[in-house]
């Protein structure tokens, strides 16, 4: 494991974008695991600029996203599909048909999870998985629990996650209470994982996750 400490959000975004760009250059037909949230916005901006400048080509890249709120479809501006389209996919030369986000509106979420994991396996696994980290240590939407959950599955969001994500909604009541998330299996099977954390508020959880015991109450500690 390698820790890279930088001083500004811009530096963090540039470094993360450099690592993702390197992945695409080394393996143009790669599978990128992508995340939403505020942390990767700057990274995506840099990748968009690199793509516009002809430095990286997304045309052969496949992407799989970590998670989606249950009940929000891609036309909802709070859905993670909408986030990915507006923050990255609409602005680079990726084939949208090769961008995957779990379907939070699937009638059978268990079957959706199984199909999502099978698809990742069929793609040959994830070459580089980008992660943020929640204040409670969640990665994807894998919340603190008594065990690490393997497959893509439905989760009940913690109060702290609902509160943290309320900033993107009109009110806390509008934040969905459940989500579908990639589990620890696909994340841990990724050939490389790049976790980015920004700001002083994340300091305590980074220390706990990476310098404390491996504990499902701190999901990121599995890394
Ligand atoms: C998003 C995701 C979440 C976020 C985490 C941090 O797809 O899976 O785990 O990475 O909630 O969010 P921000 O970056 O907004 O602090």
Write down the pTM of the prediction: 0.97
Q: Is 46 in the pocket of ligand 1 (CB under 6 A)?
A: no
Q: How far apart are CA 45 and CA 87, in angstroms?
A: 7
Cα-based torsion angle of the residue sequence 102, 108, 111, 112 in order, rounded to the nearest 10 degrees? -10
Which are the contacts of 127, defined by CB distance < 8 A and separation ≥ 6? 23, 27, 30, 31, 32, 190, 191, 192
Best of 67, 84, 134, 195 to mutate for ligand 1, by most ligand atoms within 8 A of CB? 134
Cα–Cα distance measured from residue 147 to residue 53, given in angstroms and rounded to the nearest whole number = 45
- What atom in ligand 1 is closest to the CA of residue 65? 7
The reply to whether ligand 1 has any atom less than 6 angstroms from the CB of 81 is no
* Ligand 1 atom closest to Cα of residue 181: 8
- What's the gap in Å between 38 CA and the centre of ligand 1? 7
Question: Does residue 37's CB lie within 6 angstroms of at least one atom of ligand 1?
Answer: yes
The residue whose C-alpha atom lies closest to atom 12 belonging to ligand 1 is 37
Rounded CA separation 66/140 (Å): 5
Question: Catalytic site residues?
Answer: 67, 136, 138, 143
What are the pLDDT tens digits along the chain (223 aa)? 999 999 999 999 999 999 999 999 999 999 999 999 999 999 999 999 999 999 999 999 999 999 999 999 999 999 999 999 999 999 999 999 999 999 999 999 999 999 999 999 999 999 999 999 999 999 999 999 999 999 999 999 999 899 999 999 999 999 999 999 999 999 999 999 999 999 999 999 999 999 999 999 999 999 9
Q: Which two tokens stand for residue 180?
A: 């579908």
């Amino acid at each position: 494991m390698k820790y890279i400490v930088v001083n500004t959000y811009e530096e963090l975004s540039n470094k993360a974008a450099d690592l993702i760009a390197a992945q695409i250059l080394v393996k143009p037909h790669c599978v990128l695991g992508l995340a939403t949230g505020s942390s990767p916005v700057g990274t995506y901006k840099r990748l968009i600029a690199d793509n516009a400048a002809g430095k990286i080509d997304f045309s052969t890249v496949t992407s799989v996203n970590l998670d989606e709120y249950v009940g929000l479809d891609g036309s909802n501006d709070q859905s993670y599909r909408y986030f990915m389209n507006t923050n990255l996919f609409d602005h680079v030369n990726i084939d949208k048909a090769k961008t995957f986000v779990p379907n939070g509106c699937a009638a059978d979420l268990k079957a959706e999870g199984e199909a999502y994991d099978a698809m990742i396996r069929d793609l040959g696994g994830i070459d580089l998985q980008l992660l943020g980290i929640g204040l409670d240590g969640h990665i994807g939407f894998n919340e603190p629990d008594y065990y690490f959950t393997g497959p893509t599955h439905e989760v009940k969001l913690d109060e702290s996650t609902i509160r943290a994500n309320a900033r993107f909604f009109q009110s806390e009541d509008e934040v969905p209470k459940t989500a579908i998330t990639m589990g620890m299996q696909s994340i841990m099977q990724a050939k490389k994982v790049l976790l980015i954390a920004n700001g002083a508020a994340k300091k305590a959880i980074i220390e706990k996750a990476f310098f404390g015991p491996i504990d499902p109450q701190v999901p990121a500690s599995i890394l």
